[in-house]
């Protein structure tokens, strides 16, 4: 069976996979910002400036603004051509609006719109060049394009079912993660319950003899809520009888296994220890130690 820790790892991996699937918008935004800086660089080059800096790109809603460290001039016709070629290569929009604003007053000095395939382009004053000044380039995407299709020059074909598939994928992934979490929680709770259980707290050291719990490691014999401490020899003797449950053991064999080579025991040593065990087991009617006359002893365990 898969351990609960392993399932937890799968669960975390599933969450990371889902999060990575939703990271695409962030990557698209970074891609657009880089494109805006490239446009800003090309605008300066068109004005004959190859040394001035393009300032950090700012974004508000779906509108990007590019500021410059120095003044410049531009020809609308060249600006339109250069911006449109970069936008198509980068694949950041099929339809968009470009505005050049005065950096001090915020007034629009020049603007135009590219309508894509379903709207006409609006390109006013293409041959009239504004004077050199401090301008801010503003770009607003009116309809997003498929970036991969643009990069590889594949005709853009909007997928009307993509949003539905994405939603279905999110639902399935979320349900899978929730199922994994429930399985992990269930296994964790069951494990904790086992750890709290007296019967399993000592693992394989617990032996059931009738209604008694025999802890061979801690030398404890428990019946209901009462625990009785056993001596080392009592523990060894009871364990030997248990391993030969319902079978007769000869006296000499018991003495040899339990007392080994001590040799200094008296004749009634075994009988004394048998008597002690009988007294500790007497409360349980399902367990008794029988004396097989002339042979030895037998532990008899019956079902309740």
CATH number for the domain harbouring residue 229: 1.10.10.10
| Residue 195 forms part of a structural domain | no
pLDDT of the residue at 198: 47
| Residue 229 forms part of a structural domain | yes
pLDDT per residue over 269-299, tens digit each?
889 999 999 999 999 999 999 999 989 999 9
pLDDT of the residue at 205: 77
Among 166, 182, 211, give the residue marking a domain's end.
166
pLDDT per residue over 202-235, tens digit each?
456 789 999 999 998 999 999 988 999 999 999 9
Among 110, 139, 166, give the residue marking a domain's end.
166
pLDDT per residue over 68-116, tens digit each?
999 998 889 999 999 999 998 888 877 899 999 999 999 999 999 988 7
Of 23-32, 61-70, 110-119, 272-281, which range is least confident? Answer: 23-32
Among 121, 151, 166, give the residue marking a domain's end.
166
Distance of alpha carbon 136 from alpha carbon 279, whole angstroms:
99
Q: In the predicted model, is pLDDT for residue 243 greater than 70?
A: yes
Q: Is residue 101 a contact partner of residue 109, using CB atoms and an 8 Å limit?
A: yes
pLDDT of the residue at 150: 46
Distance of alpha carbon 92 from alpha carbon 113, whole angstroms:
15
Q: What is the CA radius of gyration of the chain?
A: 43
pLDDT of the residue at 200: 44
Which residues make beta-bridge pairs with 138? 65, 99
| Residue 99 forms part of a structural domain | yes
| Residue 112 forms part of a structural domain | yes
Burial of 256 (0-12, 13-18, 19+ CB in 10 A): exposed
Q: What is the mean pLDDT of residues 150-175?
A: 61
pLDDT per residue over 125-154, tens digit each?
766 777 889 999 999 988 654 444 444 444
pLDDT of the residue at 13: 55
Domain that holds residue 208: 203-301
Q: What is the mean pLDDT of residues 150-159?
A: 46
Q: What is the mean pLDDT of residues 245-267?
A: 80
pLDDT category of residue 39 using cuts at 50, 70 and 90: very high
Smallest Cα–Cα separation from 61: which of 141, 163, 143, 116? 141
State percent of the chain over pLDDT 90. 45
Q: In the predicted model, is pLDDT for residue 45 greater than 80?
A: yes
Distance of alpha carbon 1 from alpha carbon 165, whole angstroms:
34
pLDDT of the residue at 236: 92
pLDDT of the residue at 94: 79
Residue written as token pair 């600006």: 79
Do 144 and 235 belong to one domain? Answer: no
| Residue 150 forms part of a structural domain | yes
Within 10 A of 236 (CB to CB), how many other CB atoms are there?
Answer: 19
Within 10 A of 262 (CB to CB), how many other CB atoms are there?
Answer: 10
DSSP H or E run through 250: strand 248-250
* Three-state DSSP state, 276: helix
Smallest Cα–Cα separation from 7: which of 128, 150, 176, 140? 176
| Residue 24 forms part of a structural domain | yes
State percent of the chain over pLDDT 70. 75
Q: In the predicted model, is pLDDT for residue 237 greater than 90?
A: yes
pLDDT of the residue at 121: 79
Do 38 and 111 belong to one domain? Answer: yes
Which residues make beta-bridge pairs with 88? none
pLDDT per residue over 193-203, tens digit each?
765 554 444 45
Within 10 A of 129 (CB to CB), how many other CB atoms are there?
Answer: 15
Who wins on pLDDT, 303 or 171?
Answer: 171
Distance of alpha carbon 247 from alpha carbon 113, whole angstroms:
99
pLDDT category of residue 264 using cuts at 50, 70 and 90: low
Into how many domains does the chain fold?
2
Q: In the predicted model, is pLDDT for residue 38 greater than 70?
A: yes
Q: In the predicted model, is pLDDT for residue 41 greater than 60?
A: yes
Of the segments 7-21, 110-124, 162-176, which one has the largest average pLDDT value?
110-124
pLDDT of the residue at 156: 45
Residue written as token pair 């040394």: 51
């Amino acid at each position: 069976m898969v351990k609960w820790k392993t399932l937890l790892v799968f669960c975390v991996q599933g969450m990371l996979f889902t999060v990575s699937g939703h990271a695409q918008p962030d990557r698209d935004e970074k891609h657009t910002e880089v494109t805006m800086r490239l446009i800003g660089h090309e605008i300066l080059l068109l004005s004959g400036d190859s040394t001035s800096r393009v300032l950090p790109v700012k974004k508000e809603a779906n509108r990007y603004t590019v500021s410059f460290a120095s003044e410049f001039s531009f020809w609308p016709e060249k600006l339109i051509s250069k911006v449109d070629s970069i936008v198509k290569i980068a694949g950041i929009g099929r339809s968009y609006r470009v505005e050049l604003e005065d950096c001090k007053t915020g007034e629009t000095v020049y603007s135009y719109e590219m309508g894509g395939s379903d709207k006409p382009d609006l390109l006013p004053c293409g041959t009239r060049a504004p004077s050199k000044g401090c301008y801010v380039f503003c770009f607003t995407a009116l309809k997003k394009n498929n970036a991969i299709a643009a990069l590889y020059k594949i005709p853009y074909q909007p997928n009307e079912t993509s949003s539905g598939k994405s939603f279905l994928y999110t639902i399935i992934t979320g349900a899978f993660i929730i199922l994994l979490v429930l399985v992990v929680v269930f296994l964790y709770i069951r494990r904790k319950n086992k750890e709290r259980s007296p019967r399993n707290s000592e693992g394989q050291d617990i032996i059931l003899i009738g209604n008694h719990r025999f802890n061979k490691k801690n030398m404890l014999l428990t019946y209901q809520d009462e625990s009785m401490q056993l001596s080392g020899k009592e523990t060894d003797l009871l364990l030997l009888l248990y391993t030969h449950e319902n079978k007769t053991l000869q006296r000499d064999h018991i003495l040899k296994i339990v007392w080994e080579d001590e040799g200094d025991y008296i004749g009634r040593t075994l009988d004394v220890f048998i008597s002690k065990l009988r007294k500790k087991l007497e409360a349980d009617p399902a367990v008794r130690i029988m004396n097989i006359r002339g042979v030895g002893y037998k532990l008899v365990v019956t079902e309740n």
